[in-house]
Chain A
Amino acid sequence: MSGNYETSPSPSDVGFQLVSRRTLLASAAAVGAGVALAACGSDSKSSPATTVGGATTTTGAQGATTTMAGGYTGDPVTVGLNEAAGSGKPYDGLKAGLDATGIPYKGNFVDHNSFQDNITSYLQQPDDVFTWFSGYRMRFFADKGLAGDISAVWANLPDFTEGFKAASTGNDGKQYLVPTAYYPWAVHYRKSLFKDKGYSVPTTKDELVALCTKMKADGLIPFAYANDGKWPVQGTFDILNMRVNGYQYHVDLLAGKESWTDPKTKAVFTTWAELLPFHQTGANGRTWQQAATSLEKKEAGMFLLGTFVASNSTDQTYLDDLDFFNFPALDTAIGADSIDAPIDGFMMAAKPKNDKGAKALLTAIGQLPFIEAVNKVNPSNVPANSKFDTSKLNAIQKKSAELVSSAKHIAQFLDRDTSPDFVKNVLADAFAGFIADPTTVDSMLKSIESQKSTYLK
């Protein structure tokens, strides 16, 4: 584990190496799998990850672990999901995955935001196995002794690259998460709209501004914008900071090593203020689903969000028409090689009531049948399992995998890269205030800096 306590895993940590086209193709040919995940695979060839699997059998890791998982017939395992029944594809997908493991389980399905808000009290008496995220959020609970050490399970998970293993590892070097899927943040747009209007994907700041100006002249809102719940615009901050100051500064700022009143930090907000007139007004009172609808209705031209934006619609024509591009470079010296790409997964309670069952279920979650079943129902996030047949990925997922594998640095997302209570109590309000009135930037930055030490210990 090379990541510090405060930092996001570096790309090599999560298994996404910057690969040349040639290596990419070569490894694709070698592994016989699709594009990007194979690139991760090429990384793991030299690592023990693909060889540690089911040690007791010669039929290969896959066979061994499936038997082990399928062989569990004890008491049901309690599972806490951060998706409520009826919440749509995200829930249906996870449910299908759990059913596919063949392990008896008892579900506790909680609304996504409530699950997150109540996580501290939830972890006092958690279910045996529960959904959670990698990054600071995982390591925090691991450090507090509120998550179970699943290093033993990882001995039976041959399908993950070293990078994902590192991203699942706590500060003590033990594993605490079984990753399921990840998704990048990018600028979404409708291909047909770009074609009709003769727009092209911008790669520089000038091109971006020119495109936005043109869209405005055409009566479109250049960027759909939402901030209900106060987290969506945090993605804008992440990408702008990584474009203006680069990945390292972003990480250091979130770790508290750089100052919020530094001119470099202010430059991010200057850029943000420059681009704000191209964004949908009234973002603070709009949900991302409503903003996604204005993208779908071609009222807005673009929308910066995670690829989960697709889960808002069931209209196949629209979904086929939906595409994304990496947020363009704003400073050629910095480039556009850093993105947000959070990883989701499952963790185990510190003291599960059903230890054997919990470990069996987590092992099964790390196998192909689980993620295949999930992906069949909800093909939006990219499976973390490197054995996953990439021909089963849809176009957006393939592109996601490519984008992530070509990125040099990968951040997890603002509230996964720093203390979530710092984000919740300080940054979320500050950013929401900023997009409503960008002239307050100086007093806002001063206030963030003064409140930083209270929450960021």
Chain B
Amino acid sequence: MTTELTSATPPDGGRRRRRYSQLSRSDKVWLTLMVGVPTFFVVLFVWLPALATIALSFTSWDGLKLGTWQLVGFHNYWTIFTVLQDKLYPALFNNVVLLVWLSFCSIIGMLLAYLLDKGVRGTSIYQSIFYMPVVLSLAIVGFIWKSVIFSQEQGLFNVGRTPPIDFVGDASKLFVFHLPGLDTPLGLSRNFAAILIAIAWRHIGYVMVLYLAGLKSVDPSLREAATIDGCNEWQTFRHVVFPVLRPINVVVLVITVIEALRAFDIIVALKEPVGTIVMGVLVKNNLVGEGGGNVGIGSAYGVVLLVLCLVFIVYYLINNYRENEL
């Protein structure tokens, strides 16, 4: 039995590396604790509720007394995909719109960061201005925009405008289309578009800061080399800087997807105007709404959202493993 004295990877790429532990007994105890305790809490507070949600989505329950649930099979799913389709599909559509929009905002944020990183005069002032909204929660952003910007009586966007535009309440569609096999027409409501602007106000600054941090870590010699090789500005960015930013890109991608799927607080802060429905609001209204709740239906909505999230999580994990195998 040979013992590897160094931790360097053997020439064969480590495929035949033996199971050998350099950890002492107390190391193992500590490791177990450090991995085990967080795992325990994550399982308890994240995975058990998730599994419970899946289980409850097959029941009919008013959410009041434990044990009073009744198994109803796939009835809740049948309900939300047929009877309640004029709630489910517009909500899914709005989440998708949000995903596309936030991706766009992320690109804007990245470009802003790139510009500011070039050392524009007064860059710290610009940074502060763009970053300011990020310290606010989306619910607060909703309150601010509703009363200061969108209000029909005193809103900034309505100053001197008669008649004023009902930014928060106008659910008429900017465009409408029909999906084959779906009775409910889908489209982007004007008020949701207005909310998108408020969300962008915050999201762009958020992404910008992440990229600014990332850009600081880009080795200047790489850019110099690119310049010497005759790259123009765009080529430098596209082929040198952007690939180096890969870790940041992954983080921003994850944030963008999460923000798009979990969107909830700003809609609720605006009191859920018609046309702005998103999955999170549907889940909430059926679970904790007044009147005992419809836990089965709310959970079914939740599971649909969970499946959507899983699609992205699985994609991310596969990508991540593939990268680590390189």
Contact = CB atoms under 8 A, between A and B. Distances in A.
Instruction: Determine if chain A interacts with chain B.
Output: yes
Interface of A: 113, 116-121, 123-124, 137, 140, 144-146, 227-230, 281-286, 290, 293, 415, 419-422, 424-425, 429, 432-433, 436-437, 447, 450-451, 454-455
Interface in B250-303: 271-274, 277, 285-286, 288-294, 297
Given A432-B274, A447-B86, A454-B83, A286 B169 contact: yes
A22 to B, nearest CB: 43
A283 B285 contact: no
B54 to A, nearest CB: 20
Nearest to B282: A425
B64 A120 contact: yes
13 contacts: A116-B290, A118-B288, A124-B64, A146-B64, A227-B169, A228-B168, A281-B166, A282-B165, A286-B166, A290-B153, A421-B294, A425-B289, A436-B169
Contact of A284 (B164, B168, B292): B168
Majority secondary structure of chain B interface residues (helix, strand, loop or mixed): loop
B274 A454 contact: no
A144 B290 CA distance: 13
B64 A284 contact: no
Contacts, number: 119
B140 to A, nearest CB: 15
Given A285-B168, A421-B285, A455-B294, 12 more contacts: A119-B290, A144-B62, A230-B273, A282-B152, A282-B169, A422-B291, A429-B277, A432-B274, A433-B274, A447-B86, A454-B83, A454-B297
Nearest to A287: B271
Interface in B146-180: 150-153, 163-172
A286 B302 CA distance: 31
Contacts of B187: none
Nearest to B86: A447
B84 interface: yes
Contacts of B297: 454
B56 to A, nearest CB: 15
B166 A421 contact: no
Nearest to B150: A285
Given A285-B152, A450-B83, A117 B289 contact: yes
Contacts of B293: 120, 421
A221 B231 CA distance: 65
Please indicate which of the listed interface residues A285, A286, A455 has the most CB atoms of chain B within 10 Å of its own CB.
A285
Contact of A282 (B62, B170, B274, B294): B170
A117 B292 CA distance: 11
A421 B291 contact: yes
B214 interface: no
B198 to A, nearest CB: 14
Given A285-B152, A285-B168, A229 B271 contact: yes
B191 interface: yes
A284 B169 contact: yes
A113 B277 CA distance: 19
A145 B65 CA distance: 10
Contacts of A422: 291
B285 A424 contact: yes
Contacts of B87: 425, 429
Contacts of B79: 454
A368 to B, nearest CB: 32
Contacts of A229: 271
Interface residues of B, number: 39
A285 B272 CA distance: 10
Please indicate which of the listed interface residues A146, A422, A424 has the most CB atoms of chain B within 10 Å of its own CB.
A424
Contacts of A432: 169, 171, 273-274
A284 B273 contact: yes
B289 A421 contact: yes
A429 B277 CA distance: 10
A140 B136 CA distance: 39
Nearest to A121: B288
Please indicate which of the listed interface residues B84, B152, B169, B170 has the most CB atoms of chain A within 10 Å of its own CB.
B169
Contacts of A283: 169
A421 B64 CA distance: 14
Given A144-B62, A281-B166, A230 B271 contact: yes
B288 to A, nearest CB: 6
B272 to A, nearest CB: 7
Nearest to A118: B288
Contacts of B169: 227-228, 282-286, 432, 436
Nearest to B167: A285
Given A432-B171, A436-B170, A117 B288 contact: yes
Given A421-B290, A432-B273, A454-B79, A284 B166 contact: yes
A452 B29 CA distance: 58
- When A and B form their complex, which 8 residue pairs have the shortest distance between CB atoms, in order from nearest? A284-B169, A285-B169, A282-B166, A285-B168, A420-B291, A421-B291, A285-B166, A432-B274
Nearest to A452: B83
Contacts of A437: 172
A454 B153 CA distance: 39
Contact of B273 (A121, A146, A285, A451): A285
Contact of A424 (B64, B86, B191, B289): B289
A120 B168 contact: no
Nearest to A116: B290
Contacts of B65: 144-145
A288 B172 CA distance: 22
Interface in B199-258: none
Contacts of A123: 64
A132 to B, nearest CB: 11
A415 B291 CA distance: 10
Contact of B152 (A120, A286, A420, A424): A286
B288 A120 contact: yes
Contacts of B83: 450-451, 454
Nearest to B166: A282
Interface string B73-98: 00000010001101100000000000
Given A284-B273, A285-B191, A436 B289 contact: no
B142 to A, nearest CB: 13
